[in-house]
Amino acid sequence: MPGLILFGILIMLPIALTLIYSFFKISFLTNDFHFIGTKNFYKLLHKKDFYNSLQIVLLLTFIAVIASNVIGIIFAKLLNHENKIFIILRVLIFTPFILSPIVVGYTFSSILTDNGILNQFLNNLSIEHNISWLGDPKYALISISIALCWQLIAFCTVIYLACLKNIPTELEDAVKIDGASGLKKFIHLDWPFLAPALTINTVVILISSFKLYDRVLALTGGGPGRSTETISMLIIRTAFNENRVGFASSMSLILLIISGVTTFAALIYLGKREISI
């Protein structure tokens, strides 16, 4: 019962308030509450900023799902050894995930500024110079996706490693006797056993990407020209800068539905290929 009460207060109550607020025109400055029905949702259908933010989030989510899973599997295969050096490397590679997203954002901001470490490194190599990684829209999204994937790859690697460790040694020996190695071994032995890890990693990446806020705030602040403004940033700006709490609540509710439906679909689709070990 105490757990249910705590869950209700911290989780269900805010969701219920968001649902209620989405049907009102609210100003916290004047404490005005006017019931307007579904007008907030109707306005949302014609708000270009929302579609722009949704497109940005979907693009970042797609990049994060593909890059984090692929690189995570590669790292897991490379670190799947019992040598002490590899044990230390496994600990180190998980370190980025335990860092605060805002810390990661400011760290990459110092690297990717016009006079940052990356541009100085490129200047020394005489490759290209004065690239505005955070000020140019075509590079800003790439910079954010790199910072996002950097943390998520660490999580994916550890989960994939755990699944690789659970592969029975009898099957490993049988594969060696049959002469399968390299890509064949991965496709017919490793990949089926990695199915649960793929499901977990994909769901975590989806949730992390849809609510992306901290890293973008530290890196670009949603700029330049709102070209990197995520839905979470748009909700915060609408609620607190524009004092349109009801409208922001309707966006939050739509984001919750999109995130929930996408995550549920991923669980159903990926769950079908999981095997019983």
pLDDT in tens, 131-156: 788 888 888 888 899 988 998 998 99
Q: Residue 33 falls within a domain, yes or no? A: no
The 10 Å CB-count burial string (b at 16+, else e) for 112-145 is: bbeebebbeeeeeeeeeeebbbbeeeeebbebbb
What is the CATH number for 222?
A: 1.10.3720.10
Angstrom distance (rounded) from CA 194 to CA 166: 10
For 224-251, what is each residue's pLDDT tens digit? 888 889 999 999 988 888 888 888 899 9
For 188-199, what is each residue's pLDDT tens digit? 778 888 888 899
Whole-model pTM: value is: 0.87
For 158-171, what is each residue's pLDDT tens digit? 999 888 888 787 77
Task: Report the pLDDT averaged over residues 81-106.
Answer: 82
Q: Residue 93 falls within a domain, yes or no? A: yes
Domain of residue 147: give its range. 41-271
If one compares 220 and 128, the residue with the highest pLDDT of the two is 220
Q: Residue 226 falls within a domain, yes or no? A: yes
Q: Residue 29 falls within a domain, yes or no? A: no
Q: Residue 108 falls within a domain, yes or no? A: yes
> Considering its fold, how many domains does the chain have in total?
1
**Mean pLDDT (the chain, rounded):** 85
Tell me: pLDDT of 70 over 90: yes
Q: Residue 109 falls within a domain, yes or no? A: yes
